[in-house]
Amino acid sequence: MSTNRRDFLKTGATAALGLSGFTLISTSVFGKSMGYIAPSDKVNLACVGIGNRGNEIIKALNDTGLCNVVALCDVDMGADQTLEIMNMFPQAKRYHDFRKMFDEIGGEFDAVSVGTPDFSHFPATMMALAEGKHVYVEKPMARTFQEVDLMVAAAKKNPKVATQMGNQGHSEANYFQFKTWKEAGIIKDVTAITAHMNSRRRWHGWDPNITRFPEAEPVPSTLDWDLWLSQAQPRGFHKDFHNGQWRCWYDYGMGALGDWGAHIIDTAHEFLDLGLPYEINPVKLTGHNPFFFPMSTTLEFKFPARGEMPPLTITWYDGLDNIPAVPDGYGVSELDPNIPPPSTGQLQPARLNPGKIIYSKELTFKGGSHGSTLSIIPEDKAKEWESKLPEVPQSPSNHYANFLKACKGEEKTRSPFEIAGPLSQVFCLGVMAQQMGVKLEFDRETRQIVNNPLANQVLAGMPPRKGWEEFYRV
């Protein structure tokens, strides 16, 4: 164990709730064209989680030409989903346990990508920050409110470290459009946002009358199941906990909200200065059970007035039978042509692509997910405003290059933990309301749930499993 890590983990005081809200100080500046970069000038990267989504992250980082992949770490090294990356980087050192990787070769890499299941983002990220490594972590940042607080605090303690959450839209057209339109006063006085993700999810074929977790199955020969569990409580392996299926379970994932929310409400959350909601109301939970996510969910997130901006409510819809209403003049561009009309000849309710509808006092906007740009609706209103719209700057770098350039001191990350942390905590609160099935009243000043003592305890999540407590200290 390095001296830095030992000092950070053993002498730090255990952090309490209420640590977010710090500002990440960046030493980076914009500039420098990419051009040819010698291997010695690239960022040396260690990758934790190399299958499935981790695979895509590593390839995207590598495609920038700005990094050398020097280490690969996965608890299922050698399984089908990890072989491609292993074969792409045969010279990279290989590990099952990220802790061993840090201890043995921590001096050989500058940055870490974390592409593990939602619940296990936390320990690998905390170790990277303790060691002074730059961190790219997939969204959402962590599974519990307190874990996000600790990650933000650890980044604050290491201000020269670049952090980036993997909501790629923060480096694409929607980010720059929303920022420009907000600054130009086109997006103003927003009072309501409808956010929708109504595609089929992995758990939609499951029985919501479940009364216990599934029976344990034999562990695949390539998988270290104990390491996969990391700080989570012990449980026997089952195929529906692994390879993306983890997203279905409250213990391991964040459902549709955590998966897609960061790609749908991210720019509104940042540029409308939303912070944390004061009320989270589960309006609809179809197929509610305490184990996996509902078949359909409608959640209201209420935010107070902020300066001259009025109070705002975000209403989140997911589920195949939970399509939100759209305003007159919405248009037909996002209707699903694969849904046939019923025998009556009348159109079925539209199945929308993932996206949002933004309602302000004067204008209404519709937009998609990720980097999709907004448009003003209805069409006649869009034509009225066409000549008034400012020029929107192009992105200087994609999300992965932005991170690696920040590691080199050439840019600032666009989704650092100071920005991504509160957004992730909105999802933490939403998932708590889903799982508990109750309205939550949240005090933004004290950062406590004030109407439900049990829910307030859940803010911190379950205590970590024995042997993983060290990551909960800053």
pLDDT at 10: 43
Q: Is residue 89 part of a domain?
A: yes
pLDDT at 336: 43
Structure tokens that stand for 402 in this block: 């932005």
pLDDT at 332: 65
Q: Is residue 160 part of a domain?
A: yes
Burial 72-86 (b: 16+ CB within 10 A, else e): bbbbbbebebbeebb
**Residue 200 vs residues 242, 318, 319, 327, 351: alpha-carbon distances, Å:** 19, 9, 7, 24, 11
For 283, the enclosing helix (H) or strand (E) is: strand 279-286
pLDDT at 310: 98
Tell me if 112 sits within 8 A of 45, measured CB to CB. Answer: yes
CATH number for the domain harbouring residue 49: 3.40.50.720
Mean pLDDT of 163-178: 96
> How many angstroms separate the CA atoms of 238 and 240, rounded?
5
Q: Whose CA is closest to 215, among 244, 241, 236, 240?
A: 236
pLDDT for residue 331 is more than 50: yes
pLDDT for residue 353 is more than 90: no
The alpha carbon torsion through 147, 152, 158, 164 (nearest 10 deg) reads: 100
Q: Whose CA is closest to 195, among 268, 284, 277?
A: 268
pLDDT for residue 305 is more than 70: yes
Q: Is residue 115 part of a domain?
A: yes
Q: Is residue 368 part of a domain?
A: no
Q: Is residue 326 part of a domain?
A: no
For 316, the enclosing helix (H) or strand (E) is: strand 312-318
pLDDT for residue 6 is more than 70: no
> How many angstroms separate the CA atoms of 224 and 222, rounded?
7
Residue 287 sits at φ, ψ, to 5 deg, of 75, 35
Q: Considering only residues 341 and 100, tell me which one the structure prediction assigns the higher pLDDT.
A: 100
Q: What is the pLDDT of residues 182-225, one digit of tens each?
A: 999 999 999 999 999 999 999 999 999 999 999 999 999 999 99
Q: Is residue 159 part of a domain?
A: yes
Residue 9 sits at φ, ψ, to 5 deg, of -85, -30
> Across-strand partners of 196?
317, 355
Full domain range(s) for residue 123: 3-170+398-414+463-472
For 81, the enclosing helix (H) or strand (E) is: helix 80-88
Secondary structure of 390-437 in the HEC alphabet?
CCCCCCCCCHHHHHHHHHCCCCCCCCCHHHHHHHHHHHHHHHHHHHHC
Mean pLDDT of the chain: 90
> How many angstroms separate the CA atoms of 369 and 383, rounded?
23
Residue 194 region by backbone torsions, left for phi larger than 0, else alpha for psi between -120 and 50, else beta: beta
Q: What is the pLDDT of residues 10-69, one digit of tens each?
A: 444 344 334 333 333 333 333 333 456 777 799 999 999 999 999 999 999 999 999 999
Give the chain's domain count.
1
Q: Is residue 68 part of a domain?
A: yes
My answer on whether omega of the bond before 140 falls inside 30° of 0, hence cis, is yes
pLDDT at 274: 98
For 7, the enclosing helix (H) or strand (E) is: helix 3-11
Q: Is residue 15 part of a domain?
A: yes
Q: Whose CA is closest to 430, among 316, 263, 294?
A: 316
Task: Kindly report which listed range (46-60, 168-182, 321-335, 344-358) carries the lowest average pLDDT score.
Answer: 344-358
Structure tokens that stand for 205 in this block: 């074929």
Radius of gyration of the chain (CA): 22
Mean pLDDT of 135-150: 97
pLDDT for residue 378 is more than 90: yes
pLDDT for residue 401 is more than 80: yes
Mean pLDDT of 144-161: 97
